[in-house]
Amino acid sequence: MCLPVVEITGRRHLQDKYPDMKIKLLSATFILTFSLTALYAQDSLKEARVKAIKTIVAETDSTTSLIPVEVDIIRRDSLSKSGVNALVDSLAPLRAYFKDKKLKKLRLDFGFSFHYGGSRDYYYDDGELVYVFESVMNSTRMGSCGTLQIDSYYFLQDNKIIECGIMEKPFECYNTPVKNEADLFGELAMLLRRLEAHLKNNIQN
């Protein structure tokens, strides 16, 4: 983050003529210094949290002892992105990965046509969602954009997004918006309900 550098100066004769000016200048300097210090401290905490989450994600992906559970989810998607005004049911496999009976990762693969498809990964740490990564291949605008890979990521703490970003490769064309917490948790709630129902059925059977 680029922060402005502010310099506060006052001439001696002005301070002598207006004695309150020195007090006001000192007060302004203190407030500015305190605010900048707080901002730097907040950025440092966020950077530390993001770094810790990256470590969690790397460890999860490199762990070979995770126990997978696969659930078939039928998604009803609109084909309007492909220029077709219709709905289609598509099979979207959901894979849940557990360690010591704790959910560590969810992976959803989706795609209702060769024009659009991708995957979304949810990472957990001690029951808390900490990271979401989505990668989509989109070729619904072949004339103007061609085929683009759209990657987006979200770092979370206490169910709040603390850092996020999106990249369209090889160039920007769709101007894809980032999601907010309501979008992320709204999509996730449906997946967790299906996973819970699948686990209950397996236990009963």
Q: Are residues 175 and 113 in the same domain?
A: yes
**Is residue 52 included in any domain, yes or no?**
yes
Q: Are residues 36 and 102 in the same domain?
A: no
Q: Are residues 122 and 152 in the same domain?
A: yes
CA pair distance 75, 200, nearest whole angstrom: 21
Q: Are residues 193 and 175 in the same domain?
A: yes
- pLDDT digits over 164-191, tens only? 999 888 878 777 788 899 999 988 998 8
CA pair distance 149, 195, nearest whole angstrom: 28
- pLDDT digits over 5-28, tens only? 444 444 455 455 555 655 655 566
**Other CB atoms within 10 A of residue 101 CB:** 6
- pLDDT digits over 100-133, tens only? 989 999 998 887 666 778 899 999 999 999 999 9
| Residue-range definition of the domain harbouring residue 18 | 12-62
Q: Are residues 38 and 76 in the same domain?
A: no
Helix (H) or strand (E) holding 116: strand 116-125
Q: Which two tokens stand for residue 177?
A: 């918006």
**Is residue 3 included in any domain, yes or no?**
no
**Is residue 96 included in any domain, yes or no?**
yes
Into how many domains does the chain fold?
Answer: 2
The pTM assigned to this predicted structure is 0.71
**Is residue 160 included in any domain, yes or no?**
yes
Q: Are residues 30 and 93 in the same domain?
A: no
Q: Are residues 158 and 71 in the same domain?
A: yes
